[in-house]
Amino acid sequence: MREKVEKALEKVRPMLMADGGNVELVDVTADGVVKLRLTGSCGCCPMSTMTLKSGIERIIRQEVPEVKEIIAL
């Protein structure tokens, strides 16, 4: 599942990098929990929660339906 999540993240990285940020995959647990860390400009941006929920989470769930939860660290 980790590889599928990484492939999904590759789709959103260009958008994040355009604003000086990125996303790091910290862990994917056996029970389907994905742990992410927003880095660069995204790590301290007041809109980071919206970016995570509206953009990153939507694409990961679309590409990897077996994901149960996405957590930002």
Domain holding 62: CATH number? 3.30.300.130
The domain containing residue 48 runs over which residues?
2-72
Give strand ranges (E) for 6-51: 21-28, 33-40
Kindly give the parts of the chain with pLDDT less than 70: none
Nearest-angstrom CA–CA distance, 73 and 70: 10
- pLDDT on residue 28: 97
Nearest to 40 by CA among 60, 58, 62, 24: 24
Number of domains in the chain: 1
- Check residue 42 and give its pLDDT: 84
Cα torsion for 34, 64, 6, 11, to the nearest 10°? -120
